[in-house]
Amino acid sequence: MLKQKITIVGGGNIGISIAEGLIKSKAIKASQLIVTKRSSKASKELSQLKIQVTNNNIEGVKNADIIVLAVQPKQLIPVLDEIKPVLSDKKRIVVSVVSGVSTNEIQKVIGQNIALFRAMPNTAISIQDSMTCIAKKVGTKADEKVVFDLFDNLGEVAAIEEELMASATVLAACGIAFAMRFMRAASQGGIEIGFDAEIAQQIAAQTLRGATSLLLSSGKHPESEIDKVTTPQGCTIAGLNEMEHQGFSSALIKGLITSHKKINGIAG
Ligand SMILES: NC(=O)c1ccc[n+]([C@@H]2O[C@H](COP(=O)([O-])OP(=O)(O)OC[C@H]3O[C@@H](n4cnc5c(N)ncnc54)[C@H](OP(=O)(O)O)[C@@H]3O)[C@@H](O)[C@H]2O)c1
């Protein structure tokens, strides 16, 4: 169990997911967590978990040991300006999960002395199954341990350079949507070949989980698992090659690159 008090500034999609993950994993108690929002009305998820919600950012962060910034990119600088007066009155760690705002931009407001990290989780953090990439800007080894322990409770973590944060956003955070679209298409195909919607989705989802578990447990290349399934002249290779003729891998790679250009502000 973590000892620190945590305040999440921004109780939207990802802020709620982090809060849910922290409470459901028993990493912290509800009394150690505050979520701030523009409106003081708690979402269903936050009120069910008895998490304190406030629209007063200063009150929300003043006793926090760890401040997780989870507002939209355009909302971040005004929020930092608002909380800056109370930031340096005790030792704190600031973790930004905001995409597209660098630690240099954050430091222009809060200065260079406060422990500062960027993290890029995904919404599976609500069920402690996130892939979270973390980059340190300022912090001691002890701060680093606190931040890694925090996200370690909520899934897998990887230390990356901040330069790769946009790539982490695309592969891990946008990646949830890409995987969901794969799931939807697989379920729709399953319906066309005879299953009703519910069982089609169950079969497709568990098959995807099995495939990812095979890779995660063995560390092997995907193609080595494909080789085991593709009998010569069989139905798997026939379907797989047809998907490739239709641009399956190419569409996915181009989509990732387009998202990456978009996040970097390059017209794509
Ligand atoms: N969604 C993801 O999968 C994901 C994953 C990783 C990182 N991120 C990043 O996380 C950030 C938030 O994304 P999101 O999808 O969670 O956005 P969102 O759903 O729009 O949530 C933003 C939250 O910030 C609150 N907020 C806005 N201005 C505020 C202020 N001045 N003080 C306090 N709270 C304020 C909003 O309050 P109200 O609810 O009252 O309007 C809302 O709860 C983005 O930068 C995104 O790139 C998202």
Query: Alpha helices of the chain — where are they, by DSSP H?
Result: 13-24, 44-48, 57-61, 73-87, 103-110, 141-152, 165-168, 175-192, 197-218, 222-229, 235-245, 248-263
Chain centroid offset of residue 257 CA? 19
The response to whether residue 53 sits with its C-beta less than 6 Å from ligand 1 reads no
The response to whether residue 39 sits with its C-beta less than 6 Å from ligand 1 reads yes
Task: Tell me the average pLDDT across 69-95.
Answer: 94
The response to whether residue 40 sits with its C-beta less than 6 Å from ligand 1 reads no
| CA–CA separation, 5 and 31 (whole Å) | 8
pLDDT at 50 over 80: yes
The response to whether residue 102 sits with its C-beta less than 6 Å from ligand 1 reads no
The response to whether residue 13 sits with its C-beta less than 6 Å from ligand 1 reads yes
The response to whether residue 37 sits with its C-beta less than 6 Å from ligand 1 reads yes
pLDDT at 258 over 60: yes
Of all atoms in ligand 1, which is nearest to the CA of residue 101? 45
Task: Tell me the average pLDDT across 14-35.
Answer: 95
Domains of the chain, CATH where assigned: 6-160 (3.40.50.720), 168-263 (1.10.3730.10)
Supply the DSSP symbol for 170. I
Predicted confidence at residue 42, as pLDDT, reads 75
The response to whether residue 60 sits with its C-beta less than 6 Å from ligand 1 reads no
Tell which one of 7, 14, 56 to mutate to probe ligand 1, the residue whose CB is within 8 A of the most ligand atoms: 14
pLDDT at 48 over 60: yes
Structure tokens at 7: 């305040």
| CA–CA separation, 100 and 263 (whole Å) | 7
Structure tokens at 222: 């995907």
Q: What is the pTM of this model?
A: 0.93
* Higher pLDDT pick, 39 / 128: 128
Predicted confidence at residue 267, as pLDDT, reads 52
Three-state SS for 4-72 is: CCEEEECCCHHHHHHHHHHHHCCCCCHHHEEEECCCCCCCHHHHHCCCEEECCHHHHHCCCCEEEECCC
pLDDT at 68 over 80: yes
* pLDDT tens, position by position, 179-206: 999 999 999 999 999 999 999 999 999 9
pLDDT bucket at 268, cuts 50 / 70 / 90: very low
pLDDT above 90 coverage of the chain, percent: 91
Of all atoms in ligand 1, which is nearest to the CA of residue 14? 16
pLDDT bucket at 43, cuts 50 / 70 / 90: confident
Residue 67 Cα to ligand 1 midpoint, Å, equals: 14
* pLDDT tens, position by position, 232-247: 999 999 999 999 999 9
